Copies of this chain bind each other. A is one copy, B any other.
């Protein structure tokens, strides 16, 4: 297991962590000030400053990307299938322009939440079937662009509205169905927030192996959780044994970034510099 106590070479910042403190160019400047070498930007943050300007800012700062957030939201009614396809193709093109190593897929939940305006449904099995089909379609396009897709299983609390892929096993089953050759084109993004509770998580990490582990995200689970979406804690403030999970992914060969992705009404109120300083300190002591 790599020793992070002395430096933060392998810290990446998911830019949602400080999305309320500045735009993407300001976040990139702050990363430069703090010696942060990699980011994972969100599409809306890229769009807000313009794709060309975002790509130039990343390049000029000498930053790497650890991913691009996010493709997905596959379930919809028939009228929106074209929208889903085109939206995800644009995502691939943007990821390519930004030099991302993979796209993080938040696959979406029931159609009415995944693509608002779609027909109301309670059929989660049907949504899951659409997700399979949606990933298969996107994968064809992404392969041509040589852009890997990383399915992110989300915590079951988000099954209805954000992602109906809720366990590492489920995500890996999709990978095996759509990419049985383990070509590198399809894998998983594992966020400790979403997977820490799973009694099978260590076995599934081993099953994933290096070639399916495309990204590793950290934050913490707060007790109590005061907001189901926006109370993801700073590493060390909650109950997740983060080091054990990092040890597990590294034991199968993962050697990429530890990406900090915090959505928190608390941390969004602090200054960008305070957040980044704390991220670096906790990366060294807790991650």
**Residues of A participating in the B interface, judged by any CB pair closer than 8 Å:** 110, 113, 122-124, 128, 155-157, 159-161, 164, 166-167, 170, 196-199, 221, 223-226, 228-229, 238-241
A122 to chain B, nearest CB (A): 4
Do the beta carbons of A197 and B240 come within 8 Å of each other?
A: no
Do the beta carbons of B123 and A241 come within 8 Å of each other?
A: yes
Give the oligomeric copy count: 2
Residue of B nearest to A159 (CB): B197
In the assembled complex, the Cα of A164 lies from the Cα of B156 at a distance in Å of 14
Residues in B whose Cβ lies below 8 Å from that of A110: 239
With A122-B241, A199-B167 known as contacts, the answer to whether A157 contacts B156 (CB < 8 A) is yes
Among B128, B161, B167, B170, contact of A224 (Cβ-Cβ < 8 Å): B161
In the assembled complex, the Cα of A161 lies from the Cα of B241 at a distance in Å of 15
A118 to chain B, nearest CB (A): 14
Residue of A124, A156, A157, A159 ringed by the most chain B CB atoms within 10 A = A156
Residue of B nearest to A225 (CB): B228
Do the beta carbons of B198 and A156 come within 8 Å of each other?
A: yes
In the assembled complex, the Cα of A57 lies from the Cα of B46 at a distance in Å of 65
Do the beta carbons of A225 and B157 come within 8 Å of each other?
A: yes
Q: Apart from A110-B239, A122-B241, what 14 extra A-B contacts exist at CB < 8 Å?
A: A113-B223, A123-B241, A156-B156, A156-B157, A157-B225, A159-B196, A161-B223, A161-B224, A166-B199, A167-B199, A224-B228, A224-B229, A226-B228, A228-B228
Do the beta carbons of B157 and A239 come within 8 Å of each other?
A: no
Among B122, B199, B241, contact of A239 (Cβ-Cβ < 8 Å): B122
Residues in B whose Cβ lies below 8 Å from that of A239: 110, 122, 160
Residues in B whose Cβ lies below 8 Å from that of A228: 157, 224-226, 228
Do the beta carbons of B159 and A124 come within 8 Å of each other?
A: no
In the assembled complex, the Cα of A221 lies from the Cα of B197 at a distance in Å of 19
Do the beta carbons of A124 and B197 come within 8 Å of each other?
A: yes
Do the beta carbons of B161 and A124 come within 8 Å of each other?
A: no
Residue of B nearest to A157 (CB): B157
Residues in B whose Cβ lies below 8 Å from that of A221: 160
Do the beta carbons of A223 and B166 come within 8 Å of each other?
A: no
Residues in B whose Cβ lies below 8 Å from that of A198: 156, 166
Residue of A196, A199, A226, A240 ringed by the most chain B CB atoms within 10 A = A199
Residues in B whose Cβ lies below 8 Å from that of A159: 196-197
Do the beta carbons of A199 and B128 come within 8 Å of each other?
A: yes
